[in-house]
Structure 1
Amino acid sequence: MDKDLIIQITSENLKEIRTENQYTQEKMAEILGITKKMLVHIEKGKTLSNWTTAIAICALFRDSPTLHKQMGADPMEMIELSIYDVDIKPMNKTMGGVIWWKSVKKHRGFKLQQHTLTKHYRILDDENYRVISTFDQKVAKEKWLDIVRKYK
């Protein structure tokens, strides 16, 4: 998922995100740091938000059912992946890949998974904490081999 797609998703779903949080246009514009006029233009599809506004939407409404449905994952994880391509940050607790994830490999409680929608990879530890996320299959497999070697 790249920046343009994130901007498109957040822009096209801004009204739904606002209404699911029961905010007026005035309040939502204030929260996002944009004018009400800009918010109305985005909601009507006349313009797209900019990257900074898209990040604000993902950060402030990261638990939004709409964003999770449209992105298929934690919106902030998608932001990080679009910036860094590989995100190695242990200690982000997950639900273990019950929905949206296909387990590729398992070893001593660790799981290499691929997202069914975005096709990015992640590795979870034995307590379902995210160890790495990446769109690069080679990087995911290299990190997986490191884990298998370490925990024989």
Structure 2
Amino acid sequence: MDRYELRKIVSVKLKLVRVEAGFTQSTMSHMIGLSKKTLVQIEKGRLVAGWSTAVSVCALFSESRILRTALEDSPIKVIKKVGFNEREQ
């Protein structure tokens, strides 16, 4: 898996993670550092979350059943693996 694939998975699952946690779009956008407008665009599939957003979501919602199933591992482990594997030489 590379960064883009991880960002895409997080983007596709973002709304489900938000609903699983019981958060409104306003609360979720504030938690992960996005505008509500950007969050809505990601949830509708019009944008792919950036790396920082993917890291924030995986860190804050590392216990999410949705993320653990989608990533087939602990979200924190996946972030570290992808991040360290693609570091600049």
Structure 1 segments unaligned to the other structure (5+ residues): 86-152
Larger Rg belongs to: 1
- Structure 2 distance, partners of 1:76, 1:41, is 25
Could you tell me which residue of structure 2 aligns to residue 37 of structure 1? 37
Matched, 1:52 2:52: yes
Q: How does 1:96-107 map to 2 (within 5 A)?
A: none
- The CA RMSD measured in Å over matched residues stands at 0.7
For 2:10 and 2:75, the matched residues in 1 are separated by 10
Q: Deviations over 1:26-72 (max 9, x none)?
A: 00000011000000000000001100000000000001000000000
1:22 maps to a residue whose letter is G
Q: C-alpha separation between the residues in 1 aligned to 2:19 and 2:72?
A: 20
Unaligned runs of 5+ in 2: none
In structure 1, the residue matched to 2:66 is 66
**TM-score, structure 1 as length reference:** 0.55
- TM-score normalized with structure 2 length: 0.93
Provide the C-alpha distance between the structure 1 equivalents of 2:13 and 2:41, rounded to a whole number of angstroms.
Answer: 13
Counterpart position of 2:10: 10
- Separation in 2 of the partners of 1:31 and 1:84? 25
Separation in 2, partners of 1:72, 1:14: 16
Tell me, what secondary structure is at the counterpart of 1:77?
helix
Take 2:40 and 2:83, find their aligned partners in 1: how far apart are those partners?
28
**Match for 1:41: what amino acid?**
Q
What residue number does 2:26 align with? 26
More helix by share: 2
Shift, 1:2, TM fit: 1.3
- Point out the structure with the larger strand share: 1
Give matches, 1:106-125, under 5 Å. Answer: none
How many corresponding residue pairs?
Answer: 85
Runs of 4+ in 1 over 2 A off after TM superposition: none
Q: Percent identity?
A: 36
Distance 1:6 1:17 in 2: 15
